[in-house]
Amino acid sequence: MSATTMIHIRVDDDIKAQATEALEAMGLSMSDAVRLFLKRVVAEQAMPIELKVPNAETRAAMEEARAIRRARFATAQALFDNLDGGER
């Protein structure tokens, strides 16, 4: 078994909590995810994700998705009405 070392990183508390929850749903720990990420960097000799700045249309769509995610509706029908622009 090879020797291991500790990596310390700083991350926003909210991001850590959200990532931990998402990873747990996938059956992974934060350490598992970091190890997986680093193994992909080594294997690909590159970032394993595409990094680019979103254009204006993408930023608008991301903001719309955030607004929808934060929206709360009393009934499923109210949600559908909102998604349809009130056409139901």
Q: Tens digits of per-residue pLDDT, 15-28?
A: 999 999 999 999 99
Distance CA 85, CA 82 (A): 5
Distance CA 76, CA 41 (A): 43
Instruction: Check residue 86 and give its pLDDT.
Output: 56
pTM, two decimal places: 0.55
Instruction: Check residue 56 and give its pLDDT.
Output: 92
CB environment 8-17: b (16+ within 10 A), e (fewer)? eeeeeeeeee
* 1-51 maps to CATH 3.90.1200.10: no
Sorted by where each begins, the domain ranges of the chain are 1-51, 52-88
